[in-house]
Amino acid sequence: MSISIGIHDLSFATAEFVLPHTALAAHNGTAIGKYHVGIGQESMSVPAADEDIVTMGAAAAAPIIARHGTDLIRTVVLATESSIDQAKSAGVYVHSLLGLPSATRVVELKQACYGATAALQFAIGLVRRDPAQQVLVIASDVSKYELDSPGEATQGAASVAMLVGVDPALVRIGDTSGLFTADVMDFWRPNYRDAALVDGQESINAYLQAVEGVWKDYTEQGGYPLGEFAAFCYHQPFTKMAYKAHRHLVDYCGHDADKDDIARAVGQTTAYNTVIGNSYTASVYLGLAALLDQADDLTGRPIGFLSYGSGSVAEFFAGTVVAGYRDHLRTKANLEEIARRRPVDYAGYRDLHERSLPADGGDHSTPSQTSGPFRFAGLSGHKRIYEKR
C-alpha cells in the first residue's frame, strides 16, 4: 500500500517595501494599463538593505517551526536562483537562524525558477525512504533586472516554506510527473552579473514549448486528463503568463480556450503574485497559497502544477487537496504579510536597487531597515553576518 506524502504546512514571507506600478509608470511614462492589464502586475516587493534570500527564507519557515517543532526535520532543501555564495548553501544560514538540530542535512538546489519543484520531489523521495522524517523545503528569491529594462516591471521578492511529510494536512502530491528539458538561452545570469539577462519573447516561446513537452510526457505516464483538474498553479514571471500558458495548454489538448474557463482555472492563483511580483522559485507555491486561501472547498480535488525554469527545465504534476485542509491554512497571516509592507517611492527603490556590497573583505554594516524577525547585518572578513531581532 502506497503512503500519502505531500505538503503538510505552507508559509511565506516577502520583503519590507513595496513599489506600486503606478510609481514605475509615472517615472518612465508608460501607460499604466501596460502593467495592470498587459502583464497583470499592480506592485512589487522590494527588499530592504538588510534583507536577502536568507532573511526571507528564515522568516517564511519560522511559523512552521513554531507550529510543528524540529524533532522530525532531518533535511532542509533551499531552492534559489539568486544565491549569495558559490559554495555555502544559503540554507545553512537559515538552519542556524532557526536553531535547527545539528543532525540535519542542508543543501541548495538551482535550476532557475524550477528549483523549488526539484526540492519538493527530492523531499518526497527522502520521506518515502524514511516515513518517520519530515523535510523543510524553502524557495527564496529576489528577482532583479536592470533599471529601465523591459524586465524591470516584473521584479519582486518572496520566500515560501513547505513542510513535507506523510499524511499531509494540505496537499497530497501524486506520483506521476511530466518532464521536459531543452537547452535554451531565454534567461540567465552569469557569475559576474547581479542582474539577470533575459530575451523576453524567447522566454515566452520556451515556456510554451515546455508546456507542450511536460503535458505530452504527463499523459504518456498515465496522468489525469485535463478536465479533471479543479485549478492550475503555473510559474508566474508575471501573472498574465499563467493565463497565456493555460490557454496554450487547452489549445494543445484540442479544447476550446473559453476565456471564462481559463479565468476559473488560474485566476485565484494569481492574487499574491499580482502584488508581490516575480519570486522565481517561490512563484508556483505562492500561487498554491493564494488558491487555497480563496477557493471554495477543494477537498478531494486535483490541482495541476506546472513549474518552469528558464534554460530550460519544466515539470507537470498533480496534487490532491486533503480533507480538513482549511483548518491548517495561514490566510490571515498571509494577508498581513503582504499588507505590512511599507510603500517606497521610485527614488527610494532606485537607491535600494543600486546598492552593492564592497568586495574588500572589510567591515561593512547594513542600514537597519527591515521590521522582519531576521536581518542581514553586514560583512566582515568576507563573511556574511545575520541577526535575529
Residues annotated as catalytic are 81, 113, 235
Using alpha carbons only, what angle is made at residue 196 by residues 192 and 197, rounded to the nearest 5 degrees? 100
Q: Where does residue 87 rank: exposed (0-12), middle (13-18), buried (19+ CB within 10 A)?
A: exposed
Report the half-sphere exposure of 314 (CA within 13 A, side-chain side). 28
Report the half-sphere exposure of 192 (CA within 13 A, side-chain side). 0
Using alpha carbons only, what angle is made at residue 291 by residues 90 and 68, rounded to the nearest 5 degrees? 50
Element (H, E) at 139: strand 134-143
Q: Where does residue 27 rank: exposed (0-12), middle (13-18), buried (19+ CB within 10 A)?
A: middle
Place of cell 480563496: 294
174: phi then psi, degrees, rounded to nearest 5: -75, 160
